[in-house]
Amino acid sequence: MEAQYSPRKPEPVQARIPPPRDAQLLVKMGATPTLRAQKRIRLVLWHPPLSPWIKLNTDGLAKGNPELAACGGVFRDYQSHFIGRFSTPIGHHNAFFSELLAVIIGIELTFQLGWQHVWLECDSTSVVECFSKSSFVPPWQLRNTVADRLANLGMSSSSWIWHASPPAEIIPFLRMDFLGFPYIRHG
């Protein structure tokens, strides 16, 4: 029996270009819109900060461009203990605006609560670029399921919310982070 080798044709890469309004906003803020290749599946671990730091994970979302939007964030200490969270609907905006507003709200809360050692994580490279002095795209991929869920809770809220205890919907995810379990990420 003779084996035959038949190379597979590579599948075309599907790129997503930011919508024109988002791309124009990014350019005005000094950021460079980038193409994104087709999504992959990977495991993502949440890591607590070092003592005495507090970690803030933020996320924002929009159901369209622009459409109903919300944002949220979660604060945890160096032992992975939940400190507090926020989530809020923000009207009709795009995803970039909601991601950026989540960071701004998180920073404002940090100052209001008098915390001086806060580690901020945001999964939007465009937002990260806005806070940097040059056009920098970080080589890491961040995603935090707890912050994602809080942003979604903000969609169903009628006003801004701060709680010092976690809602039941995120307790399993806080436990997974505490125990060091990974999430499966599509993208």
155-185 pLDDT per residue, tens: 777 777 777 888 888 888 888 888 877 776 6
* Residue bearing tokens 């790129």: 15
Of the candidates 131, 167, 165, the one whose C-alpha atom is nearest the C-alpha of residue 152 is 167
pTM of the model: 0.59
pLDDT over 90 at 74, yes or no: yes
pLDDT over 60 at 7, yes or no: no
Radius of gyration of the chain (CA): 19
Region 69-79: mean pLDDT is 95
Contact status, residue 102 vs residue 122, Cβ threshold 8 Å = yes
pLDDT greater at residue 16 or residue 25: 25
Q: Can you tell me the distance from the alpha carbon of 180 to that of 161, in angstroms, rounded to the nearest whole number?
A: 28
- Mean residue pLDDT of the chain comes to 79
Region 135-141: mean pLDDT is 48
Q: Can you tell me the distance from the alpha carbon of 7 to that of 181, in angstroms, rounded to the nearest whole number?
A: 38
Q: Can you tell me the distance from the alpha carbon of 91 to that of 186, in angstroms, rounded to the nearest whole number?
A: 27
92-116 pLDDT per residue, tens: 888 888 999 999 999 999 999 999 9
